[in-house]
Amino acid sequence: MINPVELVIFDCDGVLVDSERMAVRLHVAVGAELGWPLTEAEVIEKFIGRSIVSNGEQIAARLGPARATLWLERFERLHHAAVDAELTPVDGILDVLDTLTLPSCVASGSSHDTMRRTLGRAGIHRYFEGRVFSADEVPHGKPAPDLFLHAAKQMGVHPSACVVVEDSRYGIQAARAAGMRALGYTGGLTPARWLEGPNTSVFDDMRELPGLLARA
């Protein structure tokens, strides 16, 4: 028997805010400056959907800890400027949030400071006041299940009654590892084939989300 949905857990970047294209662009630029030339496809595969800590570890393994620190500092500075200048909500998500009746929260690899900035800039933070969880709060970020299990526990909902809305392969893997159903959004950068699999429905228009949740 499948439990009714009691909680919708949203990823942030690429699901609520259209930030991943700018993040990829900035990682490519910073990598070219600091000695690790990466294509956009390589950035998507290596970095998108992972926590800041995980990305820093990958950079440090390639360039050393000092360069990794410099990379993340430059990225953060450029990212803040880009958010203020060009960030928008994911197409259709405001309509979804305006009509969503199920309990919901955010669980993201981004820091709380970053999410306050991005969700605030996009006019979305008000929908999730007091219900935003960061990978900074758990030992292991995605694709480990820690963050989603932490969010479910804080919200008082069993994992089997949760549905995760994600756009990255690592987020989908984390949802499955947590024993949660997943809805994989492919309207951004991630190929559908990276998200397809058990307990996962894939969709490419955020306006489909209410119907998918109803059927879940």
Report the pLDDT value the prediction gives residue 64, as an integer from 0 to 100.
Answer: 96
Segments in the chain below pLDDT 70: 1-2
C-alpha 216/C-alpha 213 separation (Å) is 5
E strand or H helix at 181, and its extent?
strand 181-185
The predicted-structure confidence for 152-171, as pLDDT tens digits, reads as follows 999 999 999 999 999 999 99
C-alpha 184/C-alpha 202 separation (Å) is 5
Q: Which long-range contacts does 203-206 make (Cβ < 8 Å, 24+ apart)?
A: 205/92, 206/90, 206/91, 206/92, 206/93, 206/95, 206/96
Report the pLDDT value the prediction gives residue 150, as an integer from 0 to 100.
Answer: 98
C-alpha 109/C-alpha 198 separation (Å) is 23
Give the pTM. 0.89
